[in-house]
Each structure stands twice: as C-alpha cells, then as structure tokens.
Amino acid sequence: MPDALTATDDVHHVDDSALRAFFGYRMKRSFNVIQADLALALKPFELRMLTFTALTLVVSNPGLRQSQLAEAMDVERPNLVTIVEELVRRDLISKERVPTDRRAYSLQATRQGRMLCAEATMAVTAHEEALLGGLGEEIRAGAIEAMNRIEQGRQRD
C-alpha cells in the first residue's frame, strides 16, 4: 500500500503540472498505456508491435522488399533483419530472391501468416475499441488529425 504514510511527512501527491504543460510528456504517458494494451492484445499470437507491423505490411504489400519495408516502418535496415528472420522462422512470411536483382529479397506472407495477421488484427481492433471506445467521436477525430499533422510535419527542415 503506497498510501501508508501518516504523521511526520506530507503525502502531497507529486506535482507534475510543469510537465503537463508539455504535449510530449502527456503523449509519452498515454503512449505507454496504448503500447502496453497493444502488447497485451498481441501476446496470444506471440507478436510484438514490430513483428505485427512488419507482418501486416507484408500481407498488404505482397512482394515487398526488405528495404521498402524498413523505410515504411521507419526502422534501420539492420534492425529489420531479426524481425524478418523471426517471421520467416515461424513460417508467417517467405523470402524469395528477386530474379531481376539478385541482391534483393521479395517478401510474401504465407497462408498461415495471413490468417494470423487477420486474427491479430481483430484482437487489436477489439482492444483499441475497448480502450478508446468511450472517447467520443470528435475528440478521437481531433487526436487522429493532430497525430497525422505531427507525423507529416516532420519532413520540413
């Protein structure tokens, strides 16, 4: 029990108002909640956010190359290697050499991969609906719009 203090010291709960003035602070805290919930939703499928993201992109884009996948995921190429390895090892995707460019690999989801992706997608959708369903349409739309603009505002410099 963390509220067991009594006499000598004030238990005034910590003042973080100075931090709450920052968008980034609030976002980190709420992102932690979202991510924990997402991890929970993906756990039954033995997927992490990164492997789920990669699998979904390969399912949606048959024949995708690793370099394209890395760029789409905003991940450095070396960090994608183990992710792809894991998905191949579990027979969720397959790698084939591209005939016209033997340096490259073309990624395809297997039938098993497409099925797992569909199931995981439903689970994640249900989890997010449970977590965000009570938000209200206009609040949710505002949040999504804000996130879109923030993400797109990155390119200028």
Helix (H) or strand (E) holding 155: none
Q: Which of residues 38-97 bind DNA (CB under 7 A)?
A: 48-50, 65-67, 70, 75-81, 84-85, 95
CB of 53 to a copy of itself, least distance (A): 6
Q: Which of DNA, a copy of itself, none lies near 116, with the C-beta cut-off 5 to 8 A by kind?
A: none
Q: Say which amino acid occupies 59.
A: V
CB of 6 to DNA, least distance (A): 11
Q: Which of 43, 44, 119, 142 binds a copy of itself (CB under 8 A)?
A: 142
Q: Which of a copy of itself, DNA, none lies near 43, with the C-beta cut-off 5 to 8 A by kind?
A: none
Query: How buried is 47 (Cβ within 10 angstroms: 0-12 exposed, 13-18 middle, 19+ buried)?
Result: buried
**Would you call 11 helix, strand, or coil by DSSP?**
coil
